[in-house]
């Protein structure tokens, strides 16, 4: 009954059973019609017709339940073969399996569906309700989703145990009895993880087990399995090590594309670079036929860099010229550790000649051969900033956007969109960050590569990212590095744009970003500790916290204000994800004494949230803050500035800000200030920001940022 089949990407049930058994799963006893069949006469069996690309056998009448009888099985398999051939499929074999008695609770579905698939997030296991009503049941209880690289079988078991199917199997539903044990499930999940490794080794991209049922002993048994083979995607070759150092603190910089006309892109980049203060000769221009220009030495082309290499080469050239220069640089085998491509039109919608694709292929092939290549940033590179070093490679003039605060900080800002970073800087001019990098189209260096470099540092700080999509191979790498960072105490914040069909289309036209499977992305990255912002306003609020307090820790939050509405509205945001602080009896007593000392007894109740009323002056705030900081992890201070009791300008404002910051340092706890008022009070806000406190324009923003983190 066996027909010779041509090689196929389809993995049929008989071949799948071999894979499952090697992983330690308990497949049914089975054999093929015409071969050895390990069954006694009359024993209940299942006959299945196997054919190429036949995923659902019952639809072609290729499943029969009958007692074991070799002659009858041969006859029935022949009828199946004819039906398969009539449908245009290629017959493989007649498979005979033992018929397993399966357990169920009355009125409750008990069959499972399990799939293993190779995705941009690596191998992912789905496990949920199976059987004929699987789709309907998935709406009631969506399947569990486990990226095997970031979750263990034991962790998967813990999640499955609270899923509706897991509760049904373990007898945790009303009028249900246990069908299996935790030990049986632990063995099953361990085998699934082993199966994922075998799927990768065997070149599979998908394997489906449906249904998986529980036999009388409680052991999960796969009753059917099919899959598909597909070539693994070509692995990414990461950029050379050390590129982040070359970006943060380049010792030599070359710039191409500086015009004799002021106001151009290259000229503006040069004006910004002058603030970096490189020694004479370490900032040079690529300008043919000119020995010097604007007081800087010039070289004719990139070949001159081979014997005197630079850390950073910025190509502010049109796309064809930039591609030609980069190609020449690679051909010469040296000259720059990093190359920044300012122009668009390389690998995006404007690239009608395939320049970007050719450059990517050149980088990939050269690197795979072990030859020298630079790390390439962009195309569509708007610039990067290292404020503590006054480094600015952007083409944004300072009369449009002031240089960032030179105090610097531990926060790293990464964005596919340069404009997104500019807007964040403009809205928060006192934002303290160590590095801001506009990655552009990520032809070579991707956000994942920067995260990997940060994760390798001795003391990594927080990272805030804006992404419109992940390119091939980027998601799994991003997740791996994000997990390392968060495990080392460095928060990773992500605003993922392009979450709708329209947003995905806009992202593709903007940076050529790949939308990907958003549900899978989130499932993977949240398991790695990444915090997702739902809106840019939330992102900005969290950014303010991370810039001021890079190692923010979760804990109870105390709210102190001089406005009743802030206390009420702020309290509405407290909950499980944002716990409200509680005063100990001793602290409540000390607070009452402090209030009386500052003539607030009878006006202010000594409880949280603390409403000091507009009668409170700065000393009253400071005394209350001193008490509250004992019993909270974070203090948020609301200052509605219209009362005459507060000095909101000049030395009075600066002195209050300094003393409040001193309280924060004394207790070693974060303090935020919210000034809910218009632009007339920007100087007041800046006084607190200058002291390193987190500053907001409303209490709600401060608390939403905390809640997100």
Q: What are φ and ψ of residue 613, in 5° steps?
A: 65, 165
Distances (CA, A) of 642 to 115, 339, 562, 680: 62, 52, 10, 11
Do residues 250 and 273 touch, judged by C-beta distance below 8 A? no
Do residues 150 and 193 touch, judged by C-beta distance below 8 A? no
Helix and strand numbers (H, E) in the chain are: 22, 30
What span, in angstroms and rounded, lies between the C-alpha atoms of 331 and 554?
52
471, two tokens: 């390119």
Report the 10 Å Cβ neighbour count for 178.
14
What span, in angstroms and rounded, lies between the C-alpha atoms of 576 and 573?
10
What span, in angstroms and rounded, lies between the C-alpha atoms of 371 and 348?
27
114, two tokens: 């399990």
What does DSSP say about strands 391-392 and 384-386: parallel, antiparallel, or unpaired?
A: antiparallel
Q: What is the predicted pLDDT for the residue at 344?
A: 85
Is residue 321 pLDDT above 50, yes or no? Answer: yes
DSSP annotation of 551: T
Q: pLDDT tens digit string along 394-449?
A: 999 999 998 887 777 899 999 999 999 999 999 998 899 999 999 999 999 999 99
108, 110, 97: which is closest to 215 by C-alpha?
110
Report the 10 Å Cβ neighbour count for 482.
29
Q: What is the predicted pLDDT for the residue at 641?
A: 95
Is residue 534 pLDDT above 90, yes or no? Answer: yes
Residues 83-88: contacts with CB within 8 Å, 24+ apart?
83/49, 84/49, 84/51, 84/54, 84/60, 87/60
What span, in angstroms and rounded, lies between the C-alpha atoms of 516 and 503?
12
Is residue 483 pLDDT above 60, yes or no? Answer: yes
Q: What is the predicted pLDDT for the residue at 478?
A: 95
Is residue 383 pLDDT above 60, yes or no? Answer: yes
The CB-side HSE value for 407 (13 A sphere, CA atoms) comes to 12
Band of the pLDDT at 7, cuts 50, 70, 90?
low
Band of the pLDDT at 509, cuts 50, 70, 90?
very low
- As a residue count, the chain comes to 709
297, two tokens: 């030495």
H-helix or E-strand containing 67?
A: strand 63-67
Report the 10 Å Cβ neighbour count for 280.
8
CATH topology of domain 557-708: Rossmann fold (3.40.50)
Do residues 49 and 91 touch, judged by C-beta distance below 8 A? yes
Q: What is the pTM of this model?
A: 0.86
Q: pLDDT tens digit string along 150-185?
A: 899 999 999 999 999 999 999 999 888 999 999 999
Q: Please state, for a pLDDT cut of 70, what percent of the chain lies above it.
A: 96
Band of the pLDDT at 1, cuts 50, 70, 90?
very low
Distances (CA, A) of 382 to 181, 396, 671: 58, 8, 34
What span, in angstroms and rounded, lies between the C-alpha atoms of 98 and 30?
6
Q: What are φ and ψ of residue 352, in 5° steps?
A: -90, -10
Report the 10 Å Cβ neighbour count for 505.
12
311: helix, strand or coil: strand
Band of the pLDDT at 505, cuts 50, 70, 90?
very low
Average pLDDT over the chain reads: 92
* Domain at 382-552, CATH from 3.40.50.1000, 3.90.1300.10, 3.40.50.150, 3.40.50.261: 3.40.50.261
251: helix, strand or coil: coil
Do residues 525 and 494 touch, judged by C-beta distance below 8 A? yes
Describe the strand order of the beta sheet including 296-299 as a list of residue ranges: 292-293, 296-299, 283-286, 253-256, 310-315, 336-341, 375-377
336, 467, 438, 435: which is closest to 379 by C-alpha?
438
CATH topology of domain 112-229: D-amino Acid Aminotransferase; Chain A, domain 1 (3.30.470)
523, 505, 528, 525: which is closest to 515 by C-alpha?
505
Q: pLDDT tens digit string along 573-587?
A: 999 889 999 999 999
Q: What is the predicted pLDDT for the residue at 103?
A: 93
Whether the CA torsion 35, 37, 38, 40 is positive or negative: it is: negative
Is residue 504 pLDDT above 80, yes or no? Answer: no
453, two tokens: 């470099």
Do residues 181 and 146 touch, judged by C-beta distance below 8 A? no
41, two tokens: 């006469």
Q: pLDDT tens digit string along 209-224?
A: 999 999 999 999 999 9
User: In the predicted model, what is the mean pLDDT of residues 224-252?
Assistant: 92
What does DSSP say about strands 44-51 and 63-67: parallel, antiparallel, or unpaired?
A: antiparallel
């Amino acid at each position: 009954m066996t027909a010779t089949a041509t090689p196929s990407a389809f993995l049929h049930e008989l071949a799948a059973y071999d894979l499952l058994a090697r992983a330690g799963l308990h497949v049914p006893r089975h054999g093929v019609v015409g071969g050895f069949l390990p069954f006694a006469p009359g024993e209940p069996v299942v006959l299945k017709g196997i054919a190429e690309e036949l995923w659902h056998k019952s639809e072609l009448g290729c499943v029969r339940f009958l007692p074991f009888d070799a002659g009858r099985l041969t006859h029935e398999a022949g009828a199946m073969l004819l039906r398969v051939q009539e449908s245009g499929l290629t017959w493989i074999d007649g498979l005979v399996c033992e018929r397993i008695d399966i357990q169920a609770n009355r009125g409750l579905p008990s069959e499972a569906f399990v799939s293993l698939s190779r995705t941009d997030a690596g191998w992912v296991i789905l496990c949920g309700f199976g059987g004929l009503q699987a789709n309907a049941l998935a709406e009631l209880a969506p399947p569990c989703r486990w990226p095997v690289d970031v979750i263990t079988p034991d962790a998967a078991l813990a999640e499955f145990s609270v899923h509706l199917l897991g509760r049904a199997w373990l007898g945790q539903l009303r009028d249900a009895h246990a069908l299996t044990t935790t030990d049986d499930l632990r063995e099953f999940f361990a085998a699934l993880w082993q199966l994922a490794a075998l799927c990768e080794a065997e070149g599979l991209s998908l394997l489906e087990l449906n249904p998986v049922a529980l036999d009388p002993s409680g052991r999960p048994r796969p009753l059917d399995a099919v899959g598909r083979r597909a070539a693994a995607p070509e692995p990414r070759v990461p950029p050379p090590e050390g590129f982040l150092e070359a970006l943060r603190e380049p010792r030599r910089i070359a710039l191409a594309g500086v015009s004799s006309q002021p106001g151009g892109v290259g000229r503006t980049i040069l004006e910004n670079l002058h603030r970096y203060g490189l020694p004479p000769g370490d900032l040079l221009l690529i300008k043919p036929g000119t020995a010097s220009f604007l007081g800087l030495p010039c070289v004719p082309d990139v070949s001159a860099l081979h014997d005197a290499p630079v850390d950073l080469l910025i190509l502010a050239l049109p796309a064809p010229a930039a591609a030609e220069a980069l190609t020449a640089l690679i051909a010469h085998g040296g000259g720059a550790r990093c190359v920044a491509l300012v122009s668009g039109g390389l690998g995006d919608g404007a690239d009608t000649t395939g320049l970007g694709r050719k450059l990517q292929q050149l980088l990939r092939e050269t690197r795979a051969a072990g030859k020298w290549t630079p790390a390439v940033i962009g195309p569509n590179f708007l610039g990067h900033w290292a404020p503590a070093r006054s480094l600015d490679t952007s083409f944004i003039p300072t009369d449009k956007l002031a240089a960032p605060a030179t105090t610097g900080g531990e926060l790293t800002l990464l964005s596919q969109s340069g404009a997104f970073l500019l807007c964040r800087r403009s809205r928060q001019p006192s934002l303290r960050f160590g590095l801001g990098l506009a990655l552009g189209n990520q032809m070579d260096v991707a956000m994942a590569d920067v995260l990997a470099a940060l994760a390798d540092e001795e003391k990594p700080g927080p990272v805030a990212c804006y992404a419109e999509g992940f390119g091939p191979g980027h998601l799994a790498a991003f997740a791996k590095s994000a997990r390392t960072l968060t495990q080392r105490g460095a928060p990773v914040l992500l605003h993922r744009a392009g979450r709708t069909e329209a947003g995905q289309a806009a992202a593709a036209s903007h940076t050529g970003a790949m939308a990907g499977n958003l549900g899978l992305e989130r499932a993977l990255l949240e398991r790695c500790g990444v915090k997702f912002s739902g809106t840019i306003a939330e992102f900005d609020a969290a950014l303010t916290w991370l810039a001021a307090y890079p190692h923010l820790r979760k804990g109870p939050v105390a709210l102190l204000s001089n406005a009743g509405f802030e206390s009420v509205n702020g309290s509405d945001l407290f909950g499980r994800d944002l716990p409200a602080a509680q005063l100990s009896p001793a602290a409540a007593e000390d607070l009452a004494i402090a209030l009386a000392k500052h003539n607030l007894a009878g006006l202010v109740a000594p409880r949280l949230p603390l409403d000091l009323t507009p009668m409170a002056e700065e000393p009253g705030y400071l005394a209350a803050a001193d008490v509250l900081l004992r019993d909270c992890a974070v203090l948020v201070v609301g200052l509605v500035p219209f009362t005459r009791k507060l000095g909101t300008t000049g030395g009075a404002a600066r002195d209050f800000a300094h003393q409040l910051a001193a309280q924060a340092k004394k207790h070693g706890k974060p303090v935020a200030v919210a000034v809910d008022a218009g632009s007339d009070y920007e100087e007041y806000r800046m006084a607190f920001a200058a002291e390193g406190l987190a500053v907001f324009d409303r209490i709600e923003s401060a608390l939403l940022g905390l809640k997100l983190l």
